[in-house]
Structure 1
Amino acid sequence: MKYYYLFLFIILLFGCDKKDIAVSSKNNRPDKPDSVYFDKLVHMECLPASATLDSLQRYIGDFQTVESRQRSIYYLLKTKWHRIQGEKDSTLFYFDKLTINEGDVELKILKFLEELYIDYQSSAAVAYDKSARIFSNIKFAEQRNSLFTFRLYRELAEAYYLNGKQRESSHFNDLWFKNTPNKKSLWVQDSYYSNQFVIAHQLERVDSMKIYLDKVEKVANQLNNERVTAKFHNYEAQYHYYAKNYEAALESSKKFFNYYKKIDNLAYDNYHNLALAFLDNKELDSALYYFKKAYVVSKENKEEINGELYFKMLAEVYDKQGDFKNASIAKDSVQKHYYAFQEKVQNDKLEELKIQYDTEKKDIKINNLQSTNKLHKMLLVGGAFLVISVGSILYMIYKRRFLKAKNEKLEIENKKLNIEQKVLQLQLNPHFVYNSIANLQGLISQGETTKSVNYLSSFSKLLRNILELNREDFIPLKDEIASVTNYMKLQQMRFEGLFDYEINLPEDYNTEFIMIPPMLLQPFLENSIEHGFKNINYKGKIEISFAITDKKLIVEIEDNGTGMSNSKTENPNKKSLSKIIIQERLDILFNQKSKESYLEISSINQDEKTGVSVKIILPLIED
């Protein structure tokens, strides 16, 4: 039985020799060359997060002038600083500003590394294309003797590990340790020996496990750090298990478990591993207790677990206790999870086959078109009369088929209208919800308790309104304004100090009885904040106005951002998507018979004022 969970292959580096990372505040100047910061970043790989943030803050403080803050190295340092703090929006904001010139070898490698860290998912296999890109950058770095080639070796070692190629992972882990300038650091040594132990564990090489376990223990004793010592006990438990010394494995597992209990950070894996250790020692009651506790904790923490493995182990405990009824129930669950997994595998295979089929279908279509072109050439040679005759016949056939297909399409579209209306509303929500949660996580990680509570309160209120209001085709204007207000407050917390907003509404309007489609304004407000204000050096402002004229409700949104013509780096297709979706919603709701509702979007560029103006004209609907 070898179902212990080991921590994923993640390089844990927490400290270097002080002489390597010393920072002199007396010499901080905005005109330091990039090479100064490259040298500091080389040694920063072995700093803990808190010390890394402190160092980055000092480096960023070197850039005091507007000109110095246009340098790529500044954007890189800001990207790294926000990423470590878990601030996704700010991380992507500064990462997008990073421009690399042809000769900027080190900056190119560092930008690629940041891209990997931004995309990193520790629990999933690394896609082939990402591994290929790491290889490509290693070749580029080796040819140019980059300072950061060793960092790329480390990333490839981790990629191989996640893809189950342990021998290749060990090779590049060796290359990383051989080439890192920080190998004298005890923390770097601990990381290297730990990685090699985990690889040996995966390959079930007991002798190698013992060699690297002894090295981890030696470094742990020198570091005298509780977390490192706890990690050693975890490795020690795995080694004793493979050495069939189950009593010693249980004692080591308890030490590891008690450390995480002490810091109040117990998770499913902790309970699961301890349960297995009790099971190996035939302490069935304790094993059953911790297996059940593991399942409860996984539900509380919303952890994704290997259900097939869990119920298989639970069934084994019940069998050994003679509780065959519960053992049978657990085995049924094993089968359910097994079939669910197999169904997922089959679905993935079917999807691959579908892609292959679509590709082959396109190839056949291309061949058919080529054959048709040859036929047309032959017809031209045959004479004008034959061409005209055949062309007329083909045109009539084509037109008849086209009209038939169009009529069938219209019938399908009519059936889909009611469904699409709901789908279009839902399409407006996921991006904002995802980024809001990421931003909240960043605030919590910084210890900003008050901001976190305010942010969570506004976000939960807005989310509740969205979930409730999206069930309706129309909602009172009062509810839409409340939703917009909550949304704008959230965005102001995300982008602190970036913009103000103002909602203008005549006092005599009864907003409880004026009806409007839900979530109508948010996409344009998002465009103003995340596109219009992206590169401005002044405070942005958004004005939202409501007016009633000739039985029409007119909503105007105006910002003082860069305007559409000045956003050179923006993808025009992306920015027009909200307009397309909103216009489709308006067409479905109001424009089936006549043009009762429409959008007007224009760029403002007059008297040194720039921005975008959005006007939404709706039929006045009163409840």
Structure 2
Amino acid sequence: MINKLFYGFLFFFCFLALISCEERQNENSSSYSKLRTEDFYLKKIVSLDTMSNDTKINVLDTLLLDFNSDENYKKTNIYFLLKAIESRYALKQDSIEIYLDSIKPSENVDINVRKFSEESKFKTENLGIISFELVEEILKAINYAEVNNSIFTYYLYDDLAKIYFNNDDFEKSIKYTNLYFENHPLKSNLFVQQRYFDIRFFLAQHTYNSDDMKTYLEKAKKLALQINDSIAIARTFDYESQYYNHVGDHVNAIKSSHKSFNFFKRNGLLKYHHFHNLSTSYMNANQIDSAIFYLNKGYDFVKENKLATDLSVYYRNLKLLYREKGDLKKALDAQDSLYKITEENHLKIQNQKISELETQFETEKKDAEIQVLQETNQLNKDLIIQQRWLLLAGILIMLSILFFIYNTYSKKLLKEKNEKLEIEKKRYLIEQKARQSQLNPHFIYNAIANMQGLIIADKKSEANVYLVALSKHIRNMLELNRLEYVTLDEKINAIENYVKLQQLRYEDVFDYKINVHVHSDDLLIPPMIVQPFIENSIEHGFKNINYKGYLEIDIEEQENQLYIKIVDNGSGKGIQSPMGKKSLSRIITQERLDLIYNTNGKKNAYFVAKPLDENGARGYIVEIFLPLIRS
């Protein structure tokens, strides 16, 4: 159902982003005093298929300016048709019906056909299964359009393909989708082709045709790259994930889902199906917690944005995931919600009074209800069995607790365990603070702003270098910082990338040099120790100086210790924060060193940070001493 809604979105709001290459008709100097021909405007309506939604609205607004010269022009059929189409793209539902009702039967076949198509779109908006009567009306309209060679015949094929898709008749949906594309006046347009490939991929997915899925995925990706449409490229990653799920390659399915999800999230374009598809990829890979996480995130997204979304698939997947996890209580809750939605959906279908499908509908309804009831009964049985075992386990645990209460040795163990947990908790909090301090939102914002400036200045090469460095820095923060130790090589590479990134950000503000005098490939060092001092040198030491800064980092072995020296020629502010308070990064770093190395009361690891005071030199020096640990 989620893919159906997304497919419907594709039908109603084409995601194509170029203005039509159709040339404007030549006009005489007196053209502003006379309205242009209906055929001119009808051709412009056809060309809307090659534009993004915002561009469509702008083009329609421009065309409607022609009618301002005479109030009588605003009483013509073509004016009302343009207004109805504009209202649909601008989501003005109340206005659509008014303008469509104002269009009178015309001798112009194309106006009649397009009016009918807009009416059918208005009637079927947000509906699930479409009645047989409406399908019959569209078939009659198609016959009328074909007999009279209407330019909008392809548009009716598109409408009927969508209706058959919603009615789960995928073979007929494929048939009319092909007719839509074959009869489109602008089928050579790349964006029209892209929309066709996207639709065919969805149809292949619903017919479980992996060969067609692969074919149209490759075509869609190739076309997206050809037109350099970032949204279309991101959408193909979503298609890739669905294809990989279909063929059982769950690792690549998750990777592709994340690529698509992250792009649409960054650009504020997330839809419910993005959460659902990512959750499905995790569910197929049997990563239950991640699947539940994104499934619930999608549910929150629907509620926050008040979306009219069928949540039956959400509850069905939630039930399966909790059951797989062994949480039968939550599985039963999800099953109850699914049962309610199933009843509501069947009631909606029943109210549509599809006479020819009534018998089939009643049978399917009873089968669905029986299946849901059987699953509910089974879950209840499983829940009762689980509760019995939990009760027995609870009794045993209580007896064990009573026994150990009187056992002094267990008290000692419990105390030691609590102390260990407290240390782990403290370590976790400190590491979390360190990550937050390093992945600075202000830094990320400024970096993106700088990159945007390069793009606006058409410095694509510099922007690309900046983007690569920034993405590598963020990846290092997320990947390396979650480890207890990383190799010195990895840390040096991360530091060098960060400093280069800062150089790109502060152009010609400072130079740097890293001197490594040890074998760094087998030495281990905790993450988040060195970078805060480097960051302070750049952000504070080189701030507001009237000469070029210089940063030098020396790494060597001294007396069986790893010695790291960071020296800058900045203002000498070092890591002191405003109002004379100690820097948070300094406190966090010392706490981490104490937790990792100084747990036995000895000062095995420490650092010294102070302003330079040699021959009147300006700057700041930080010396870090760590025990040598080899892999």
* Per-residue deviation, 1:225: 1.4
CA distance in 2 between counterparts of 1:38 and 1:195 reads 25
CA distance in 2 between counterparts of 1:145 and 1:277 reads 46
Q: 1:250 to 1:6 in 2, by over 3 A?
A: farther
* Per-residue deviation, 1:314: 3.0
CA distance in 1 between counterparts of 2:351 and 2:94 reads 36
Q: Who is 1:74 aligned against?
A: 79
Query: Contact conserved, 1:125 with 1:162, CA < 8 A, in 2?
Result: yes
- Which of 249, 259, 264 lines up with 1:245 in the alignment? 249
CA distance in 1 between counterparts of 2:71 and 2:348 reads 54
Amino acid at match of 1:20: E
Q: Are 1:14 and 2:16 matched, yes or no?
A: yes
* Per-residue deviation, 1:160: 1.1
Q: 1:350 to 1:21 in 2, by over 3 A?
A: closer
Q: Who is 1:330 aligned against?
A: 331
CA distance in 2 between counterparts of 1:60 and 1:246 reads 51
Q: Are 1:51 and 2:50 matched, yes or no?
A: no
Amino acid at match of 2:335: V
Q: Structure 1: which 5+ residue stretches go unaligned?
A: 357-623
SS of 1:99's partner is coil
SS of 1:182's partner is coil
CA distance in 2 between counterparts of 1:67 and 1:3 reads 46
Q: Who is 1:608 aligned against?
A: none
SS of 2:130's partner is coil
Q: Who is 1:112 aligned against?
A: 116
CA distance in 1 between counterparts of 2:207 and 2:183 reads 25
* Per-residue deviation, 1:241: 0.5
CA distance in 2 between counterparts of 1:123 and 1:13 reads 21
Q: 1:92 to 1:311 in 2, by over 3 A?
A: closer
CA distance in 2 between counterparts of 1:193 and 1:294 reads 27
Q: Are 1:85 and 2:98 matched, yes or no?
A: no
- Which of 203, 216, 220 lines up with 2:207 in the alignment? 203
Q: 1:223 to 1:344 in 2, by over 3 A?
A: closer
Q: Who is 2:392 aligned against?
A: none
CA distance in 1 between counterparts of 2:344 and 2:82 reads 45
Counting only pairs closer than 5 Å after superposition, residues 14-163 of structure 1 correspond to structure 2 as: 14-15=16-17, 18-20=20-22, 22=24, 27-63=31-67, 64-101=69-106, 103-163=107-167
- Which of 230, 240, 243 lines up with 1:226 in the alignment? 230
Amino acid at match of 1:214: E
Q: Output one character per residue of 1:486-543: Cα deviation in whole Å (capped at 9) or x when no partner.
A: xxxxxxxxxxxxxxxxxxxxxxxxxxxxxxxxxxxxxxxxxxxxxxxxxxxxxxxxxx
Structure whose alpha-carbon radius of gyration is higher = 2
Counting only pairs closer than 5 Å after superposition, residues 267-282 of structure 1 correspond to structure 2 as: 267-282=271-286
CA distance in 1 between counterparts of 2:138 and 2:348 reads 30
SS of 1:91's partner is helix
Between stretches 153-162 and 201-210, larger displacement belongs to: 153-162
CA distance in 2 between counterparts of 1:191 and 1:52 reads 16
Q: Output one character per residue of 1:440-468: Cα deviation in whole Å (capped at 9) or x when no partner.
A: xxxxxxxxxxxxxxxxxxxxxxxxxxxxx
Q: Who is 1:370 aligned against?
A: none
SS of 1:14's partner is coil
Counting only pairs closer than 5 Å after superposition, residues 177-576 of structure 1 correspond to structure 2 as: 177-303=181-307, 307-321=311-325, 324=326, 326-338=327-339, 341-342=342-343, 345=346
Q: Output one character per residue of 1:333-369: Cα deviation in whole Å (capped at 9) or x when no partner.
A: 3145226524763796699699x9xxxxxxxxxxxxx
SS of 2:66's partner is coil
* Per-residue deviation, 1:158: 1.2
CA distance in 1 between counterparts of 2:51 and 2:232 reads 15
CA distance in 2 between counterparts of 1:4 and 1:69 reads 40
CA distance in 2 between counterparts of 1:4 and 1:39 reads 32
* Per-residue deviation, 1:207: 0.8
CA distance in 1 between counterparts of 2:280 and 2:336 reads 21
CA distance in 2 between counterparts of 1:301 and 1:185 reads 35
* Per-residue deviation, 1:202: 0.3
CA distance in 1 between counterparts of 2:91 and 2:56 reads 14
| Count of residue pairs brought into register by the alignment | 352
Amino acid at match of 1:95: L
Q: Structure 2: which 5+ residue stretches go unaligned?
A: 358-631
> What TM-score do you get using the length of structure 2 for normalisation?
0.51
Q: 1:287 to 1:19 in 2, by over 3 A?
A: closer
SS of 2:268's partner is coil
Query: Contact conserved, 1:308 with 1:334, CA < 8 A, in 2?
Result: no
SS of 1:67's partner is helix
CA distance in 1 between counterparts of 2:352 and 2:282 reads 43
CA distance in 2 between counterparts of 1:347 and 1:17 reads 40
* Per-residue deviation, 1:320: 4.1
Identity of aligned residues (%): 27
Higher relative contact order (CA 8 A, sep 6+): 1
CA distance in 2 between counterparts of 1:35 and 1:207 reads 42
Query: Contact conserved, 1:314 with 1:327, CA < 8 A, in 2?
Result: no
